[in-house]
Amino acid sequence: MSVTGKTSDIELKISSNWNAFTKAEKKVASRVMEQFDQVIYHSITDLAEEAGVGETTVLRFCRKLGFKGYHEFKLAVAADQVNSVASLHEDIDENDELQVMVQKITMANQKALQDTMALIDRDQLAKAIDMMLQARKVHFYGVGTSGITAQDALNRFLRIGFPAEAFTDSHLQAMAAATLTSEDVAVGITVSGSTKDTVDVLRIARESGARTVAITHFARSPVSQIADVVLLTGGRESPLQGGSLAAKIAQLHVIDLLFTGIAIRSKERALYYKEKTAKAVVDKIY
């Protein structure tokens, strides 16, 4: 049952379509009804595994309810659950005083960093750093808010003369990934782990021979299945919280971990290019 204590429109729709579901689809429906308040935080892989079915069954279930796919289904569930300004930021109530709002948002952002520290696998992080240090070039891929993270990664690594590029346009991503070789590394950034463009481009990169890294919140997701290394982030977000700052902070934190690890391992080169790039833009500041 939804957080309001009332049967939601989606729950009613599931009930009315119950007899139309296959046996496997009914497993998905049951799982959704049991965890209605949490399903918006599940990747399609999470829901499929919990229901004991394949991802295609979850997609068929969503389509029988009239949705194009799993993400559209989650958007509808989120809209059903939230009827106030809280939809703009998790845990914020429209009656909260300004100071309370400040405290809640600050705590949420701090929690994103703490969760990232708990989730990050040190061995996987070390492996990613080694792979990137050995690479001829590194591509960062992301779309939407994650695309901005990819561009920020480029900004960081360019300052130490690291051979990195960032791509946020899906066509350019596909073309760039197709040019990679076994000497290169591709980094896909996606909170959900289910962003089609990012999953597709990482698959192209892998088929081209490149080693792949996924930065995502979900350990079990489409992108994690095709990545050689998975770096997990905190800061979950619901479909209505796309662009969540907490999730963004968590992504940037992982980029900072990679950047610092590489800078330390190539200290002389990093210091040389830091000074050189700083001088290159010194005239841009009054």
pLDDT tens, residue by residue, 218-261: 888 899 999 999 999 987 665 555 567 888 999 999 999 999 99
232 token code pair: 């997990």
How far apart are alpha carbons 124 and 70 in whole angstroms? Answer: 29
Furthest-apart CA atoms within the chain: distance in Å = 70
The answer to whether residue 79 scores a pLDDT higher than 80 is: no
10-24, 130-144, 239-253: range with lowest mean pLDDT? 239-253
Question: What does the domain layout of the chain look like in residue ranges?
Answer: 9-83, 107-284
CATH class for the region spanning 107-284? alpha beta
Global pTM value = 0.75
What are 182-228's pLDDT values in tens digits? 999 999 999 989 899 999 999 999 999 999 999 998 888 899 999 99
What is the average pLDDT value for the chain, to the nearest integer?
88
Q: Which of 218, 233, 219, 227 is nearest to 141 (CA)?
A: 227
Helix locations, the chain, DSSP H: 9-16, 23-34, 44-51, 55-64, 70-81, 98-119, 122-134, 145-158, 170-178, 196-207, 222-225, 245-265, 267-280
How far apart are alpha carbons 142 and 254 in whole angstroms? Answer: 14
Would you say the C-alpha torsion 75, 31, 68, 233 has a positive or negative sign?
A: positive
How far apart are alpha carbons 135 and 133 in whole angstroms? Answer: 6
Per-residue model confidence (pLDDT) at position 89? 57
CATH class for the region spanning 9-83? mainly alpha
